[in-house]
Amino acid sequence: MSRSLRRAARAAAGALALAGALVPSAAASGADRYVALGDSYSSGTGTRSYVEASCQRSTRAYPALLAAARSGTSLVHRACAGATTSDVLRDQVSSLTRGTRLVSITVGGNDAGFAAVLKECAKPAWASDCAGAVAGAQRYIRGTLPGRLDRVYGEIAARAPAARVAVLGYPRVFNGEDCNAVTFFSPDDERRLNATADLLRDVLRTRAQAHGFAFGDVLPGFVGHAVCDRVEWLNGASTPLSESFHPNAAGHRDGYLPVVRRLLG
């Protein structure tokens, strides 16, 4: 190659490198867009500090903590207290784009009516049908919930095909005793409720993996940090009532964040 040709080649290579530096690739430009979907366990209910009151979104919730830990990550926090799978489809998945690279979600507990089940089981034994309420929730989790999860997960995959998706489960709430003066959970009630959390975990994991999503099991991390444990990561009966039986700030920071960080980086 002549000297003039070599000089021209070097100039062309330099121009291409400069263009690459000034015009980022599509992958790079969308690499840090993170969309958090789901219910109160993702919005931050229980942390007692909210930047958006109606959905109880908190900067102490695990999505905000993850975004803060990842340099340059842009969080779109769509999770909302009380959300069901239908709410996620109607109100939240529209925030997903083909440029979304990270997605997390907790959903399914409200579909199964877990708040109503807890309310029933918290009553005195003579006024409660805890066993019946739990059995109804378990039938729903086994029979109806899988199809609802499939619709949500399918929509996530279609709208954000390049995203890494973390489906997170729910912890066991109880440790076998009731230390709250205004609730009347028996040891059998607590065993039934914890078994329901295990069942929900198994269904969420199966459906998530069927769609190629990662599943984050938070049950092991919360062992020793249930309601009435010495160091609680979950609120017991609280005022206002909506704070009850949700992860507190420590639960998000030490229970949920390590799991989602492992899955999403």
* Residue 160, burial from CB neighbour count under 10 angstroms (0-12, 13-18, 19+): buried
Among 33, 76, 32, 34, which residue's Cα sits nearest to residue 55?
76
Give yes or no: 40 in active site: yes
Query: How is residue 247 annotated by DSSP?
Result: B
Query: From CA 196, how far away is CA 214, in angstroms rounded?
Result: 21
Give the CA angle between residues 108, 102, 232 to the nearest 5°: 50
HSE of 125, CA atoms in CB hemisphere, 13 A: 6
Given the residues 77, 225, 246, 252, select the one marked as catalytic: 246
What distance, in Å, lies between the first and last C-alpha atoms of the chain? 47
Catalytic member of 25, 40, 58, 186 = 40
Q: Contacts for 232-240 with beta carbons within 8 Å, 24 or more apart?
A: 233/171, 234/46, 234/171, 234/173, 235/46, 236/179, 236/180, 236/183, 237/122, 237/180, 237/182, 237/183
If you search the block for the tokens 């996530």, which residue do you land on?
156
Return phi, psi of residue 38, to 5°: 125, -150
246 is a catalytic site residue: yes
Assess contact for 115 and 46: CB atoms under 8 A.
Answer: no
State the catalytic residues: 40, 246
